[in-house]
């Protein structure tokens, strides 16, 4: 008879085996048809995931306390992130857009035949539109498959539909990994998968490699993958981007505590915390923290958990990795991708990398 922990691990592994099998068989997604041009798929089964409260009480109970960055993005956090993207100091968004604008003639050279656009994250943004504009140069009809865990994709899809008459949208409401697995078995059409905004930089090094391996394994031979990565640059430019003068990044960081207060009935006093972001040159990453300004204790009622923090103690909230071109080549090599092209902006601040699984093109 296994002990309690053993039992839990056993149940979890049986469940994850079951879940991955059901994904592979494509049986477990339910189709929701909104109209003739908009449908979406949602997993039929209930995903067994750790709850917000379990994750928070676990991560705040460590010697080095942390809150996973995925928790930034409640409604308020997503709005604040949109604001960050438009800040003068936050160069990644406008720089990536400037590169995409230059790809109008070059990117189609890699498209022999028609492609479906698959976006990791759901975009109603300028960037998705720029890619759609590029694809419409060669093909009249476009299929767009946004994959996003949040149902926000149904809202953003409606906006795109309004502006693109020959667009058929199929949203997949699931994690990127499961969504891609679903797509792999969906049909034989070729996919252009895009993962923009340097969101990849928020993974740890191991998570990142695992993620690229996963994408590679779900791609078909002649699919293409376009990824945006932020590059190593002057420390001041980097630190200013994460310490903007209007304090929006600080609000974004602190908002995660408001979220815990609201959703888990906690009593974080936001005045007792400060936003702290520095560039760690050795690790090549921005590290973002919430710094406790006093000795304090906080109760998180719904998690049945209380924590004490010393003055100046840090809660880690985000890593944002920056890469050199050499590292990008290495990373793609290690994860068995073949680089078709790398495009940079005029200051070499940001890179868009197009890769495939084989050297066929």
Residues at the interface with ligand AVI (CB under 6 A): 84, 92, 197-199, 201-202, 242, 249, 318, 320
Nearer to ligand AVI, 90 or 343 (CB): 90
- The CA-atom distances, in angstroms, between 297 and each of 58, 85, 192 are 16, 34, 49
Closest CB 199 distance from ligand AVI, rounded Å = 5
Nearer to ligand AVI, 142 or 248 (CB): 248
Closest CB 20 distance from ligand AVI, rounded Å = 27
Nearer to ligand AVI, 92 or 179 (CB): 92
What is the helix (H) or strand (E) element at residue 353, kind and residue range?
strand 350-356
Nearer to ligand AVI, 160 or 250 (CB): 250
Closest CB 204 distance from ligand AVI, rounded Å = 13
d(CA 187, CA 26): 11
Closest CB 182 distance from ligand AVI, rounded Å = 24
Nearer to ligand AVI, 28 or 198 (CB): 198
Please give the DSSP secondary-structure letter assigned to residue 277: E
Nearer to ligand AVI, 160 or 288 (CB): 288
Show the 3-state SS of 156-210. Answer: HHHHHHHHCCCEEEEEECCCHHHHHHHHHCCCCCCEEEEECCCHHHHCCHHHHHH
d(CA 342, CA 106): 11
Q: What backbone torsions phi and psi does residue 88 show, to the nearest 5 degrees?
A: -60, -35
d(CA 300, CA 302): 6
Q: Is 330 helix (H, G, I), strand (E, B) or coil?
A: helix
CB 222 within 8 A of CB 360: yes
Nearer to ligand AVI, 92 or 171 (CB): 92
Closest CB 36 distance from ligand AVI, rounded Å = 34
Looking at beta carbons, which residue is closest to ligand AVI?
320
| Residue-by-residue DSSP string for 104-122 | TTTGGGG-SS--EEEEEB-
Closest CB 72 distance from ligand AVI, rounded Å = 7
Closest CB 198 distance from ligand AVI, rounded Å = 5
């Amino acid at each position: 008879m296994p002990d309690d922990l053993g039992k839990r691990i056993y149940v979890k592994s049986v469940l994850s085996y079951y879940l991955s099998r059901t994904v592979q068989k494509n049986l477990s997604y339910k189709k929701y048809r909104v109209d003739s041009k908009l449908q979406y798929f949602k997993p039929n089964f209930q995903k067994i995931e750790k709850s917000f409260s379990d994750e928070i009480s676990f991560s705040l109970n460590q010697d080095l306390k942390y809150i996973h960055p995925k928790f930034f993005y409640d409604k308020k956090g997503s709005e604040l992130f949109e604001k960050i993207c438009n800040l003068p100091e936050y160069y990644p968004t406008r720089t990536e857009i400037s590169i995409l604008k230059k790809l109008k003639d070059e990117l189609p050279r890699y498209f022999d035949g028609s492609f479906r656009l698959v976006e990791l994250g759901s975009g109603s943004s300028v960037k998705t539109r720029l890619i759609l504009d590029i694809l419409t140069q060669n093909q009249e009809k476009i299929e767009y498959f946004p994959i996003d865990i949040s149902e926000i994709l149904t809202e953003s899809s409606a906006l795109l539909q309004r502006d693109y008459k020959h667009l058929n949208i199929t949203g997949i409401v699931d994690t990127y990994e499961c969504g891609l697995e679903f797509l792999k078995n969906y049909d034989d059409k070729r996919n252009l998968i895009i993962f923009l905004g340097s969101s990849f930089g928020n993974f740890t090094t191991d998570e990142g490699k695992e993620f690229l391996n996963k994408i590679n394994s779900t791609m078909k031979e002649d699919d293409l993958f376009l990824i945006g990565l932020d590059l190593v640059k002057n420390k001041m430019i980097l630190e200013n981007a994460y310490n903007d003068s209007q304090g929006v990044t600080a609000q974004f960081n602190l908002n995660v505590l408001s979220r815990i207060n609201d959703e888990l009935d906690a009593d974080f006093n936001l005045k007792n915390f400060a936003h702290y972001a520095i560039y760690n040159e050795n690790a090549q990453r921005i590290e973002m923290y919430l710094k406790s300004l006093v000795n304090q204790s906080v109760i998180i009622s719904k998690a049945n958990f209380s924590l004490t923090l010393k003055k100046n103690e840090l809660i880690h909230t985000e890593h944002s990795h920056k890469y050199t071109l050499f590292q990008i080549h290495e990373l793609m090599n290690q994860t068995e991708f073949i680089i078709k092209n790398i495009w940079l902006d005029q200051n070499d601040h940001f890179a868009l990398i197009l890769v495939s699984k084989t050297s066929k093109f």
